[in-house]
Amino acid sequence: MITNDTVKYIASLSRLHIDDADLSRFGGELQNILQYVDKLSELDVSNVPPTSHVFRVENVFREDTILPSLSPVEAFSFAIESHDGHYKVPKVIE
Amino acid sequence: MDFETVIGLEVHLQLNTATKIFCGCRNDFGLEANTCVCPVCLGLPGSLPVLNRQVLFSGMKVGLALNCAINTFVKFDRKNYYYPDLPKGYQISQFDFPIAKNGFLPVITGGQERRIGITRAHLEEDAGKLIHDDRTNATLVDYNRTGTPLVEIVSEPDMRSAQEAYDYLTALKLTLQYLNVSDCDMEKGSLRCDANVSIRPRGESKLGTKTELKNMNSFSAIRRAIDHEVASQARTILSGKPVVQQTLLWNEEKGMTIPMRSKEQAHDYRYFPEPDLVPFTLTEEQIDAVRRALPELPYARLRRLIGQYGISEYDGTILVGDKLAADFFETAAAMKVDIKKLCNWMNGPLMKELNDRRCRIPGLKLTPQDLVALINRVEDGTISNLAAKDVLSDIVETGKDPNIVIREKGLAQVSDDAQLETIVDEVIRENPQVVEQIRSGKASAAGFLVGLAMKKMHGKANPKILNTAIQRRIANV
Ligand SMILES: [Zn+2]
């Protein structure tokens, strides 16, 4: 059962703000999604190995060769704020 | 109450590959901020990671060197958390199929050999670097480090004291240095260590509540932090309170820990398979090939040096502690030289020259041949031990042949019998009381005459020969 507390917790992990008024609505929707996914448990998968990737491809490597990085102009073109060659974000450390 | 300490360590090792783990950006330290970033390591939409082949092989090397089983099926997983040092909002790591598991590292600690268990070693990407900026009261982010390949090495909770943890780390670092997969420099952050610490009443088999110590920047800081935390947990328990499971940051200046804010500790990573990377399979042949290509590791080398050259564990440990010093020793030991003397010279005067210059063997111009020649000049009585140290200080700088330096500096001991006899006559004549003492059985008084004679010869005499000459003369007069 998805409680309002669970919704709040998931929202905090995802850095989402959710109004208290919306908690029970989201809880209900999440509950429906989980029930839908739970239908899969009805299948007998005892002889199926766990899937770790949907493509049947393995061992895709790149060699240890240096490629060009972005220029400073490119690197900061999408930054909301920057300062002195750094991306600038709200204070997170003391 | 008597407590037992239980310590497990997590070591993060930055690999020294040319490029990052999932992109072709340069993997380098100390470059200008945000100059090695690309859509992949910045986590821009539409970019896809591709594994650096070298990283997988370095991971295998580390695992095999730590006597681990290598998984033939390897995959990557997402570890989800939001923090500005992680541009994608998740770190690509390994959860249930790490590259290596179930190993051990032999460690000599407290005069005993112990095997410290290695739970697992897995590959992951490093995060960016956060800098607090006072002027703007904001956090500044440098993503150069983002995507640096890491191996995380997790030990079993097998260590029972801060010193054991220190000895494990020393042995681990040395092993990793021999593998040449990282520069293992704690100051640069290429080797980092967190410690899980708990205590329990001695005899109790259940583990106590553990705390995690972070932010130690040297092995000795780790030792101090653990000792501090063990004492603090003991005080908590003795006062009847429970130990709180939490992450603590070590403050080296103050010698104390501060708890991380609980918000930062609330980790719920929701691992799931990384859909952007396909799985990897390794064959037994590939694993065997890496195993065969491993260099001789420090512990095996120590055992071999002891067996092959008959040196002590103490001397061997010092030599093996620097791979290049051990190489130098073995090259020299293959020549005609007294091994014990060679060992003493390497771990004594030569070590002093290295420490004085804060350098390692390749920083000196000394060759194994010249060190052996110098030792043999002392052994054949050409120069005194003291003079030889002087010659060593010279030849490590100049790379000159020690025989030439001995001649140039006029250090060869006088072996001219006539001159020697004259000096011996002199000191005997000038010190009749001492001669009387020697005659009446006080043999040690001869040392005084040897000293006087040595002075007259400006140190260029062999004390053994002088002593014999003085004794003979007194007996004959
Ligand atoms: Zn990149």
Q: Which residues of A touch B19 (CB under 8 A)?
A: 64-67
Q: Which residues of A touch B50 (CB under 8 A)?
A: 60-62
Q: How confident is the model at residue B197 (pLDDT cuts 50, 70, 90)?
A: very high
pLDDT in tens, B158-183: 999 999 999 999 999 999 999 999 99
Does the CB of A74 have a partner CB in chain B at under 8 Å? no
Q: Is the pLDDT score of A93 beyond 80?
A: no
Distance CA B352, CA B31 (A): 34
Which pLDDT score, from 0 to 100, does residue B301 have?
97
Q: Do A15 and B82 touch (CB under 8 A)?
A: yes
Clarify whether residues B365 and B433 are in a common domain: no
The domain segmentation of chain A, as residue ranges, is 1-42
Clarify whether residues B276 and B339 are in a common domain: no
Which residue of chain A has the CA closest to B77?
Answer: A52
Clarify whether residues B111 and B220 are in a common domain: yes
Distance CA B112, CA B273 (A): 43
The Cα of A72 is separated from the nearest Cα of chain B by a number of Å equal to: 7
Crossing angle of the two packed helices B298-309 and B162-179, in degrees rounded to 10: 90
Which pLDDT score, from 0 to 100, does residue B71 have?
97
Clarify whether residues B348 and B422 are in a common domain: no
Clarify whether residues B403 and B434 are in a common domain: no
Q: What is the ipTM of this complex?
A: 0.88
Clarify whether residues B189 and B51 are in a common domain: yes
Q: Do A69 and B36 touch (CB under 8 A)?
A: yes
pLDDT in tens, A12-64: 888 899 999 999 999 999 999 999 999 988 999 899 888 878 888 999 999 99
- pLDDT cut 90: percent of chain B above it: 78
The Cα of B119 is separated from the nearest Cα of chain A by a number of Å equal to: 23
pLDDT in tens, B348-400: 999 999 999 999 999 999 999 999 999 999 998 888 888 899 999 999 999 99
Q: Do A88 and B136 touch (CB under 8 A)?
A: yes
Clarify whether residues B59 and B197 are in a common domain: yes
Q: Is the pLDDT score of B477 beyond 70?
A: no
Which structural domain, as residue segments, surrounds residue B469?
A: 417-476
Which pLDDT score, from 0 to 100, does residue B415 have?
61
Helix (H, G, I), strand (E, B) or coil at B14: strand
CATH number at residue B433: 1.10.10.410
Q: Does the global pTM surpass 0.80?
A: yes
Which residue of chain B has the CA closest to A72?
Answer: B35
Clarify whether residues B80 and B117 are in a common domain: yes
What residue type is B184 in one-letter code?
C
The Cα of B57 is separated from the nearest Cα of chain A by a number of Å equal to: 11
Which pLDDT score, from 0 to 100, does residue B451 have?
87
Domain boundary pick from B289, B305, B335: B289
Q: Does domain A1-42 have CATH number 1.10.760?
A: no
Instruction: Work out the average pLDDT over B391-417.
Output: 85
pLDDT in tens, B91-148: 999 999 999 999 999 999 998 999 999 999 999 999 999 999 888 899 999 999 999 9
Q: How far is the CA of B127 from the centre of ligand 1 (A)?
A: 12
Instruction: Return the number of other C-beta atoms located less than 10 Å from residue B396's C-beta.
Output: 23
Those of residues 61-120 in B touching chain A at CB distance below 8 A are 75, 80-84, 97
Instruction: Work out the average pLDDT over B207-226.
Output: 96
Clarify whether residues B307 and B279 are in a common domain: no
Mean pLDDT of chain B: 93
Clarify whether residues B132 and B270 are in a common domain: yes
Which pLDDT score, from 0 to 100, does residue B266 have?
59
Which pLDDT score, from 0 to 100, does residue B381 have?
82
Clarify whether residues B229 and B365 are in a common domain: no
Q: Is the pLDDT score of B217 beyond 60?
A: yes
Those of residues 9-68 in A touching chain B at CB distance below 8 A are 13-15, 52-55, 57-68
Q: Is the pLDDT score of B265 beyond 60?
A: no
Instruction: Work out the average pLDDT over B215-236.
Output: 97
Q: Which residues of B touch A76 (CB under 8 A)?
A: 34
Q: Do B34 and A91 touch (CB under 8 A)?
A: no
Q: Is the pLDDT score of A94 beyond 60?
A: no
Give me A55's structure tokens.
């493509």
Q: How confident is the model at residue B422 (pLDDT cuts 50, 70, 90)?
A: confident
More confident residue, B474 or B211: B211
Q: How confident is the model at residue B218 (pLDDT cuts 50, 70, 90)?
A: very high
How big is the CA angle at B250 (ends B249 and B251), to the nearest 5 degrees? 115
Instruction: Work out the average pLDDT over B302-308.
Output: 96
Q: How far is the CA of B424 from the centre of ligand 1 (A)?
A: 79
Crossing angle of the two packed helices B53-65 and B284-292, in degrees rounded to 10: 70
Domain boundary pick from B271, B289, B307: B289
Select the residue of B82, B141, B279 nearest A53 (Cβ to Cβ). Answer: B279
Give me B101's structure tokens.
């598991």
Which pLDDT score, from 0 to 100, does residue A49 have?
83
Q: Is the pLDDT score of B272 beyond 80?
A: yes
Which pLDDT score, from 0 to 100, does residue A23 have?
95
Domain boundary pick from B385, B409, B433: B409
Q: How many domains does chain B have?
A: 3
Q: Do B139 and A88 touch (CB under 8 A)?
A: yes
Clarify whether residues B444 and B367 are in a common domain: no
Which pLDDT score, from 0 to 100, does residue B457 have?
79
> DSSP for B98-157?
-SEEEEEEEEEETTEEEEEEEEEEEEEEPP-EEEEETTTTEEEEE-TTTT-EEEEEEE-S
